[in-house]
Homo-oligomer: A and B are copies of this chain.
């Protein structure tokens, strides 16, 4: 038995971690653009990275450390992804940390970046943050702001987990991501810290599982970035831990972050769960479900609040999974909208479907009727605003 309580703010709640965010002038109007997470004692770290073949320089830099290294410092910046920058991009990170080591004691420092691809970091600007940081601050909100790009709101969460014996630990994180989020974890950064006494092997296992059930199930536009990163940092500042409690808290946190990202999908207005069930295999359920959350025609129909189930059916058919129009059933929430005996939308069903689609979130369930397997992914609508944001991003 355990209980999970939501706390205000984010990483500030976790023992032994410090964080801050400052402006070095890369964002217009003095927006915060560089931040850090620092731990009093070296942390164990688990990571999940993008599957993109062109991994950004900070990821390559991370991968040069030996397996199971410990770190006490994470530096992050927005506006520049430090991607497609070659060996120079890695040397730039080394130079930045050389300079940092003259200010503060660091051990195996790591970096994370997000922004435009193809430009070297401005080392002088980045390192000018070192004179502005309060290295003893616990300001999670400033950190959350410093990693935003097209995000329209800051994303931070903190949970206190109380165990049966009265002991407790904390888990908290910040996250960024809005556009370009694909089921395979794209342009998003998420940094989770904990003071739980969690073994390293549990960190790896539980992070992988939690990412699979959260970030890997959401889609904004089907693209996958060069920089996606999820870090879990554990400094074990408390002696307390319970695996199931930690699993539950981490799953809940990453799922909430994923929903925040989707809700903040560039120009998106609704979050929709696409459940495909009755599939021949889990793999086929996943293919069909992700085809739905990635389809432009489905996304625009969601934006138009048009209960056009034909686009749902057509997308499932196009995905190539086993299905038949005789066994297929489609539901919006609990409303049956298509079956072989109910093909044409009557006026009443159409009106009820429209009411469902007007909600901020709802589910579309497709029962293929050919097996037992099920998978759910999450998507959002596609609006004029998406096109505007992405046509004008770099300018």
> What residues of chain A have their CB less than 8 Å away from a CB belonging to chain B?
51-55, 81, 83-86, 116-120, 179-180, 182, 184, 186, 221-226, 294-297, 300-301, 303-304, 306, 308-311, 313-326, 338, 340, 343-345, 382-384, 386-388, 390-395
Contact = CB atoms under 8 A, between A and B. Distances in A.
A297 B221 CA distance: 8
Kindly name the residue among A51, A316, A382 whose own CB sees the greatest number of chain B CB atoms within 10 A: A382
Copies of chain A in the complex: 2
A392 B343 CA distance: 21
A380 to B, nearest CB: 12
A300 B179 CA distance: 12
Given A51-B320, A54-B314, A314-B117, A301 B390 contact: yes
Query: Max chain B CB contacts within 10 Å: which of A84, A306, A324, A382?
Result: A84
Contact of A310 (B84, B315, B382): B84
A344 B119 contact: yes
A225 to B, nearest CB: 6
Contacts of A51: 318, 320
B382 A320 contact: no
A309 B54 CA distance: 13
Contact of A393 (B119, B179, B308, B324): B308
Contact of A387 (B117, B295, B384): B384
11 contacts: A51-B318, A54-B325, A81-B310, A84-B313, A117-B311, A118-B309, A223-B297, A223-B315, A225-B318, A304-B390, A308-B393
- Looking at A301, A306, A311, which has the most chain B CB atoms within 10 Å of its CB? A311
B391 A387 contact: no
Nearest to A52: B317
A296 B326 contact: no
Nearest to A326: B86
Contacts of A383: 387
Contact of A318 (B86, B224, B304, B384): B224
B304 A392 contact: yes
A305 to B, nearest CB: 8
